[in-house]
Copies of this chain bind each other. A is one copy, B any other.
């Protein structure tokens, strides 16, 4: 190997907030994605993949303000203002609008792709990360939400979580509660933000928060009463129905939730996994109906998915509103938790066996053994250098944590057998190739 002039070297480094994924890390991601994908597909969602780059104008469509600061926007060689996608919702709305006349509605698609945000990197927050969305366009039926919740619960169970809950609310009910409490329209956002913290800071905390923000006591009291009803979901909704009997919006919202809960009961989803939760807000920007969050309780993991109905968003692109509902799974958070808790352990390397080359004279025996193992669909490495000492070859297998090494030396070649070394027990046995294949296929 030649030495290079140090000053000519390019420093090999990734950008801050960006990550490489290799071997077990890459495979764990792919595995988690495949479980979610399969579940979505079983419910009739089709895959959509959109480009990394879009017109900046398209990206700005949803314009949450935050978006402008955190997007990678630049000019291309043609002087066009373009940018890397910031989320999956915007490109999806663009796709629906662009292909409107060719799509069949209700239009169901899922998307699992990276997005880019120029955020300050910190633990668990990256500048490039995967998002995972599933949505339905073109139906106002709350059965869309109901089925989505069923599907989400199924996916979360398949990922190995046991203790979690879907917390369901309806933006129509929240609006009705604020209106009932005679809150000022201009305070809606402030109040919603406070309510959103209920889980974290408790009823007293919300009360203080509202006081601090200058919300009148009599308004606060009414709101606090209505977001702290107790008892089973069914009873809470019944109570709300009576209290908010004069609000058409409330009656609609409650009816939608009843449809959702009735569906989940009919299809025997374990009631442990879902409940009405008046504190779920999910931002105030574009949701118009039911909103829900998948919260993992075990290990204090928290929210791993946020969803809702947004009937007005697609209109920005197409000139008329298309009702839509769906949401995102926090796939990066899910992968992180699964990795930390070793819920789906991945071997360091996939290879089941390495075939060593005893000597150049016996290399053909090694070539043929590797070939036969692969033909039996056994993941096999053939050490590539016949001149390497056996010890070097074994060290390679050991470092890569390959569980078995097969060696055909002169005795084995004569007897038509294989020396099989178990790399964890260091035991070696002499077996036929047929037995070896049976052993590894098992």
Contacts and interface: CB of A to CB of B under 8 A. Distances in A.
Interface in A302-340: 312, 315-322
Contact of A52 (B1, B26, B95, B128): B128
**Stoichiometry (number of copies):** 2
A308 B23 CA distance: 23
A18 interface: yes
B49 A21 contact: yes
Contacts of A204: none
Contact of A143 (B15, B84, B105, B384): B384
A65 interface: no
A43 interface: yes
A412 interface: no
Contacts of A57: 10-11
A50 interface: yes
A18 B49 contact: no
Given A12-B97, A13-B58, A47 B20 contact: no
A13 B384 contact: no
Interface string A1-45: 111101011111111001111110011011000000000011110
A53 interface: yes
Given A13-B58, A46-B22, A368 B266 contact: yes
A140 B42 CA distance: 47
A144 to B, nearest CB: 5
A47 B30 CA distance: 10
Given A47-B27, A367-B267, A10 B58 contact: yes
A119 B30 CA distance: 31
Contact of A266 (B8, B49, B316, B364): B364
Contacts of A367: 263, 266-267
A134 to B, nearest CB: 13
Given A46-B22, A350-B44, A316 B147 contact: no
Nearest to A348: B46
Contact of A147 (B6, B58, B268, B384): B384
A178 B319 CA distance: 66
Contacts of A374: 42-43
A197 interface: no
Contacts of A136: 384
A98 B317 CA distance: 44
A227 interface: no
A364 B264 CA distance: 10
B49 A84 contact: no
Contacts of A400: 104
Contacts of A319: 3-4, 6, 9
B1 A320 contact: yes
A390 B135 CA distance: 23
A80 interface: yes
A46 B268 CA distance: 41
A147 B382 contact: yes
A44 B128 contact: no
A351 B379 CA distance: 32
A15 B85 CA distance: 12
Nearest to A97: B12
A1 B321 contact: yes
A72 interface: yes
A76 B72 contact: yes
A211 B93 CA distance: 58
B75 A74 contact: yes
Given A14-B50, A74-B74, A139-B385, 15 more contacts: A2-B312, A3-B319, A6-B319, A11-B55, A12-B93, A12-B94, A12-B318, A15-B54, A15-B76, A21-B48, A23-B46, A136-B384, A141-B387, A143-B382, A150-B371
24 contacts: A1-B321, A6-B319, A9-B319, A10-B94, A12-B93, A12-B98, A13-B58, A14-B51, A14-B54, A20-B49, A20-B50, A22-B95, A23-B47, A23-B109, A26-B47, A42-B377, A52-B84, A74-B74, A106-B396, A108-B381, A136-B384, A141-B385, A144-B384, A263-B367
When A and B form their complex, which 9 residue pairs have the shortest distance between CB atoms, in order from nearest? A44-B381, A74-B74, A12-B97, A18-B51, A26-B47, A12-B98, A23-B46, A1-B320, A104-B399
